[in-house]
Amino acid sequence: TWTSGNVVEQLVEEIRAQVGEDRVLCGLSGGVDSSVAAALVQRAVGDQLTCVFVDHGLLREGEAEQVEQDFVDATGVDLVVVDARERFLSALAGVSDPEEKRKIIGREFIRVFEQAARDVVRAHEGEGQDGDRHHDHPVKWLVQGTLYPDVVESGGGSGAANIKSHHNVGGLPEDLQFKLIEPLRMLFKDEVRQVGLELGVPEGIVWRQPFPGPGLGIRIVGEVTAERLAVLRRADAIAREELTRAGLDREIWQCPVVLLADVRSVGVQGDGRTYGHPVVLRPVSSEDAMTADWTRVPYEILARISSRITNEVEDVNRVVLDVTSKPPGTIEWE
Ligand code: XMP
């Protein structure tokens, strides 16, 4: 019978057999799949695993801490955090075009991850001579949080492959040859969540809704700046808090909050005129993100979100609701 306990036990044994005493590298995004995959490998081979987390500064409130503190506390994983916030901000300076932003974020991410991966590999190379058993073997494996639907979609394939042949794998060093270890490749999303809970992965990560790799960078319509990120991060945190409080997290696939940074409108607050920015709420219901419908969030909840955001977030004086399905709209605005 399928229990998360049995599955964990079986996968742990498979990973141990596969990896032996080699070292393993894993890129953490803060999402469900990479987190559960890392936790499984950690359970199997302990400190033979090193995780790398690139903080690009485009994450939502609390997300970096969730990885850096909660996840590490819960799993005991060896984590390298790269603070690349300044680097991404400079690279994005002056850029408003959505595709351009996506390209820049993707490119910078690869560069930062490559460098971190090289550093990890170098740190663990040639350590065999001193006889330290844990470090006798160079880094050879890369963990991927590939799920069963991804495997089916790409027409199957063996567990080990040259990294170049896998495009779903963001940010891979081209000149480093890894064998891929994909412990979740027989699981569906709901099973991955059960396994994550079994392994003690924090619930905030296990139940996380989808969040795009380019993060808040593609939820600011206009140039991305530190100030605008701070505004959006606050508005997003309020919307998430109220949707969670209303018990809507499982009903809503995700709810992007978008800052229209190049738009201003007139408002009135207290006894003064304001001239601030609108934010858009984009709650959607979906099965697979290929199509989506806008979620009919109860008016009282929308009202609470709207009044909190306009009261608590400086520079935002208007909250609007996106009532477009996909198609014709995409889920994200950029
Ligand atoms: P769209 O906007 O195309 O989004 O309807 C569909 C789903 O994909 C997510 N998304 C991304 N995820 N990297 C990701 O990992 C990306 O560049 C990216 N762009 C969109 C989006 O949040 C939605 O769940």
pLDDT at residue number 153: 73
Q: Report the range of poorest mean pLDDT among 116-130, 141-155, 180-194.
A: 116-130
Asked whether residue 166 falls in the same domain as residue 266, the answer is: no
CB-hemisphere CA count at 13 Å for 154? 15
Whether the per-residue pLDDT at 146 is higher than 50: the answer is yes
The rounded distance, in Å, linking the Cα atoms of 142 and 41 is: 10
Sheet with 49-55: strands ordered across: 78-83, 49-55, 23-28, 139-143, 179-181
Q: CA–CA distance from 25 to each of 68, 108, 147, 182 (Å)?
A: 16, 19, 18, 12
The rounded distance, in Å, linking the Cα atoms of 233 and 238 is: 9
Q: How far is the CA of 164 from the centre of ligand 1 (A)?
A: 22
Per the domain annotation, does 301 fall within a domain? yes
In angstroms and rounded to an integer, the radius of gyration of the C-alpha atoms of the chain is: 21
Strands 23-28 and 139-143: parallel
Say if ligand 1 is within 6 A of residue 214 CB. Answer: yes
CATH number at residue 259: 3.30.300.10
Per the domain annotation, does 171 fall within a domain? yes
Atom 18 of ligand 1, residue of closest alpha carbon: 212
According to the annotation, is 29 in a ligand binding site?
yes
Whether the per-residue pLDDT at 3 is higher than 60: the answer is yes
Atom 12 of ligand 1, residue of closest alpha carbon: 212
Per the domain annotation, does 326 fall within a domain? no
b or e along 245-260 (b: 16 or more beta carbons within 10 Å of the residue's beta carbon)? ebebeeebbbbbbbbb
Atom 11 of ligand 1, residue of closest alpha carbon: 212
Tens-place pLDDT, residues 206-243: 999 999 999 999 999 999 999 999 999 999 999 999 99
Q: Report the range of poorest mean pLDDT among 107-121, 210-224, 280-294, 314-328.
A: 107-121
Q: How far is the CA of 259 from the centre of ligand 1 (A)?
A: 17
More reliable by pLDDT, 152 or 226: 226
Say if ligand 1 is within 6 A of residue 254 CB. Answer: yes
Kindly state the average pLDDT of the residues 58-87. 96
In 3D space, the residue among 227, 196, 198 whose CA is nearest the CA of residue 93 turns out to be 227
CATH number at residue 160: 3.40.50.620
pLDDT at residue number 187: 96
Say if ligand 1 is within 6 A of residue 210 CB. Answer: yes
Say if ligand 1 is within 6 A of residue 29 CB. Answer: no
Per the domain annotation, does 120 fall within a domain? yes
Asked whether residue 96 falls in the same domain as residue 136, the answer is: yes
Asked whether residue 128 falls in the same domain as residue 260, the answer is: no
Model confidence at 42, pLDDT cuts 50, 70, 90, reads very high
So what's the ipTM on this one? 0.99
296, 252 Cβ separation under 8 angstroms: no
Q: Which amino acid is at 12?
A: V
Atom 3 of ligand 1, residue of closest alpha carbon: 330
Tens-place pLDDT, residues 274-292: 999 999 999 999 998 999 9
Q: Which residues contact 255 (CB under 8 A, 6 or more apart)?
A: 209, 239, 240, 243, 281, 282, 283, 284, 295
Q: Which residues contact 156 (CB under 8 A, 6 or more apart)?
A: none
Kindly state the average pLDDT of the residues 195-202. 97
Give the domain extent around 75.
4-206
Phi, psi of 260 (to 5 degrees): -90, 85
Q: How far is the CA of 182 from the centre of ligand 1 (A)?
A: 22
Model confidence at 174, pLDDT cuts 50, 70, 90, reads low
Dihedral sign of CA atoms 35, 37, 29, 302 in order = negative
The rounded distance, in Å, linking the Cα atoms of 159 and 153 is: 15
Burial class (CB in 10 A: 0-12, 13-18, 19+), 118: middle
pLDDT at residue number 173: 58
Asked whether residue 73 falls in the same domain as residue 109, the answer is: yes
| Whole-number percent of the chain with pLDDT over 90 | 81
According to the annotation, is 33 in a ligand binding site?
yes
Closest atom of ligand 1 to 218 CA is: 19
Cis peptide before 328 (omega within 30 of 0): yes
Asked whether residue 146 falls in the same domain as residue 284, the answer is: no
According to the annotation, is 57 in a ligand binding site?
no
Atom 10 of ligand 1, residue of closest alpha carbon: 212
Kindly state the average pLDDT of the residues 131-151. 79
Q: Which residues pair with 317 in a beta bridge?
A: none
Per the domain annotation, does 89 fall within a domain? yes
Whether the per-residue pLDDT at 189 is higher than 60: the answer is yes
Kindly state the average pLDDT of the residues 113-122. 90
Asked whether residue 16 falls in the same domain as residue 132, the answer is: yes
Asked whether residue 181 falls in the same domain as residue 303, the answer is: no
Model confidence at 162, pLDDT cuts 50, 70, 90, reads very low
Asked whether residue 186 falls in the same domain as residue 253, the answer is: no
Tell me the average pLDDT of the chain. 91
> Any idea how long the chain is?
334
Q: What is the DSSP letter of 218?
A: G
Asked whether residue 267 falls in the same domain as residue 231, the answer is: yes
The encoded tokens of residue 45 equal 């081979």
Per the domain annotation, does 234 fall within a domain? yes
Asked whether residue 41 falls in the same domain as residue 108, the answer is: yes
Q: How far is the CA of 212 from the centre of ligand 1 (A)?
A: 5
pLDDT at residue number 168: 41
Asked whether residue 143 falls in the same domain as residue 249, the answer is: no
Model confidence at 167, pLDDT cuts 50, 70, 90, reads very low
The rounded distance, in Å, linking the Cα atoms of 307 and 294 is: 21
Tell me which of 33, 332, 334 to substitute to probe ligand 1's pocket, judged by most ligand atoms within 8 Å of the beta carbon: 332
Tell me which of 110, 331, 333 to substitute to probe ligand 1's pocket, judged by most ligand atoms within 8 Å of the beta carbon: 331
State the total domains in the chain. Answer: 2
| Whole-number percent of the chain with pLDDT over 70 | 90
The encoded tokens of residue 39 equal 């936790």
Atom 6 of ligand 1, residue of closest alpha carbon: 289
Asked whether residue 135 falls in the same domain as residue 170, the answer is: yes
